[in-house]
Chain A
Amino acid sequence: DAMVIQNPRYQVTQFGKPVTLSCSQTLNHNVMYWYQQKSSQAPKLLFHYYDKDFNNEADTPDNFQSRRPNTSFCFLDIRSPGLGDAAMYLCATSRVEGYLSDEKLFFGSGTQLSVL
Chain B
Amino acid sequence: RKEVEQDPGPFNVPEGATVAFNCTYSNSASQSFFWYRQDCRKEPKLLMSVYSSGNEDGRFTAQLNRASQYISLLIRDSKLSDSATYLCVVSSNNFNKFYFGSGTKLNVKP
User: A residues near B, CB below 8 A?
Assistant: 31, 33, 40-45, 48, 50, 55, 88, 90, 92, 94, 96, 98-99, 101-110, 112
**Residues of B with C-beta under 8 A to A110:** 42-43
Contact B95–A103 (Cβ < 8 Å): yes
> In the complex the two chains form, what is the Cα distance from A87 to B78 in whole Å?
31
Contact A104–B95 (Cβ < 8 Å): no
Contact A48–B96 (Cβ < 8 Å): yes
**Residues of B with C-beta under 8 A to A94:** 95, 98
> In the complex the two chains form, what is the Cα distance from A92 to B44 in whole Å?
10
B55 interface residue, CB < 8 Å from A? no
Contact A99–B94 (Cβ < 8 Å): yes
> In the complex the two chains form, what is the Cα distance from A16 to B108 in whole Å?
42
**Residues of A with C-beta under 8 A to B31:** 102
Given contacts A42-B102, A43-B100, A102-B31, contact A107 B45 (CB under 8 A): yes
> In the complex the two chains form, what is the Cα distance from A41 to B85 in whole Å?
11
B1 interface residue, CB < 8 Å from A? no
B61 interface residue, CB < 8 Å from A? no
Considering the complex of A and B, which 8 residue pairs feature the smallest CB-CB distances, nearest first? A107-B43, A42-B100, A42-B102, A96-B95, A101-B95, A102-B32, A110-B43, A43-B100
Least Cβ distance of A93 to chain B in Å? 11
> In the complex the two chains form, what is the Cα distance from A42 to B3 in whole Å?
12
